[in-house]
Amino acid sequence: MAAEVGGGAVLVSSKPDDVARADRIVLPGDGAFPACRNALTRDRASLFEAIVTSVIDKGRPFMGICVGMQMMATWGREYEDTRGFDWIGGEIAKIEPNDPSLKVPHMGWNDLVIDDGVHHPVLDGVTSGNHAYFVHSYSFRVDDPAHRLAHVDYGGDITAIVGRDNMIGTQFHPEKSQITGLRMIGNFLKWTP
């Protein structure tokens, strides 16, 4: 995507110096909330400090994907109560569909619903009804509805996209979400908050 949209070079790294030099940060997700949080703050504290300095202090664009998005919350309730980054108020709680035939984890394709009044540059060209690919058992319950940009229906509302200021996060995997996800990644690579 970077080559297609002129988004510059992409470097995959866990080195604090690389993060400090980056003009945008992506925190991908895989695994459980407590393990991710501990890996960042206990095992790689200097990496976490570089992320905070880049995103909070310098205002560089940030995209969290799956548990990378969940880290933006105040609390994670997966297995144990775990503090998040507290960049977007709210908690990560277990999905409890109101339809007993729906299984958890929520896995597969869902239609996005862009919330009323949302106009975000990373969502340019993305509309309600576009499909995204999800694999998760916990969802973001935001404190401020203005920070929820999109949701899906999976036996009730499930937050799909959160954002504020220079930060955006997706519960789904844009890299697996075909045209919709690629469009969002391309938009993110060009975004200047």
> 173 an active-site residue?
yes
Q: Which of 36, 66, 120, 136 is catalytic?
A: 66
**What is the number of other CB atoms lying within 10 angstroms of the CB of residue 96?**
10
Residues 6+ apart with CB under 8 A from 169: 63, 64, 65, 68, 69, 70, 72, 88, 140, 161, 162, 163
Q: Which of 136, 147, 151, 173 is catalytic?
A: 173
| CA distances, 149 to each of 1, 4, 128, 187 (Å) | 23, 26, 11, 15
Residue 149 near residue 161 (C-beta atoms within 8 A):
yes
- In this structure, the strands spanning 25-27 and 62-65 are parallel
> 136 an active-site residue?
no
Element (H, E) at 185: helix 178-190
Residues carrying an active site annotation: 66, 173, 175
